[in-house]
Amino acid sequence: MTPQRYQRMREMLAKRQPDLTICLEEVHKTHNLSAMIRNCDAVGVHYAHVVWPRNERIRRGTSVGAQNWVRVQGHERIDDAVNAMRAQDMQVLVTHLSDEACDFREIDYTRPTGIIFGQEKYGATEQAIALADQEIVIPMLGMVQSLNVSVASALILYEAQRQREKAGLYDHPRLDETECQRILFEGGHPQLTERCRQKGLPYPAINEQGDVEADTQWWQRMQSPG
């Protein structure tokens, strides 16, 4: 890993927002999945949740490049995803057109926040709506009632970014250093990462030059055949 790449990755990690996430409830079109994960990366969302019984199918279709930087957690049920967000004391929002929904810009996104986006054709399930704290909507002035789900996620996430930037939440690193080290190793040393996985070796530390810091025994095991 070059010093320039290391510095670029450090700058990216310093802007990550571990208490802002999205949940994709049975969003199944691969171009939407890819776009929504890219939206997460663009605004500094570090964790995303996917609810779908066949998670492996979704992962094969999503953007591999974006998933290198955004951790995607799969769930088979929406309540499991909501419980994961609640465990981080997040307010849980759901996009849904109803009389109870408020304009998405009225929400305080500086609070720990998780946002549920429903399936392309049918939207969020009744269960997801019932589990959420607040329904939100993007005002529409034309004949159609909703935007493409990936476009909707971009609008809402950039509103969250605007508020958080104004509040200074991007001004200092907020991601745990252990997680930063994992990403620096996987993103900066992909071949060594693959060997670690094959051999069951722990990841070594990455120093401020982007180099691997490991003892002789680790390197010997890394270089051994098999």
Quote the pLDDT of residue 80. Answer: 94
Q: What pLDDT is recorded for position 65?
A: 53
Q: Is 147 annotated as a binding residue?
A: yes
Global pTM reads 0.88
Per-residue pLDDT at 61: 47
Rounded mean pLDDT, 5-21: 95
The domain limits of the chain are: 17-166, 177-223
Q: What is the pLDDT of residue 82?
A: 96
Q: What is the mean pLDDT of the chain?
A: 90
Complete DSSP assignment for 52-109: -TTHHHHHHHS-HHHHTTSEEEEESSHHHHHHHHHTTT-EEEEE--STT-EEGGGS-T
Phi/psi at 208 (nearest 5 deg)?
-70, -5
Is the domain defined by 17-166 classed in CATH 3.40.1280.10? yes
Q: Say whether 107 counts as a known binding-site residue.
A: no
Between the CA of residue 150 and those of 40, 100, 113, 138, what are the distances in Å? 11, 23, 18, 13
Determine what percent of the chain is predicted with pLDDT higher than 90. Answer: 73
Mean pLDDT to the nearest integer, 72-91: 95
Quick check: 202 pLDDT over 90? yes
Q: What is the CA radius of gyration of the chain?
A: 19
Cα–Cα distance for residue pair 155/153, rounded to 1 Å: 6
* 24-75 residue pLDDT tens: 998 888 888 989 999 999 999 999 999 987 644 555 444 445 667 899 999 9
95 is in an annotated binding site: yes
**Judging by DSSP bridges, how do beta strands 134-137 and 102-103 pair with one another?**
parallel
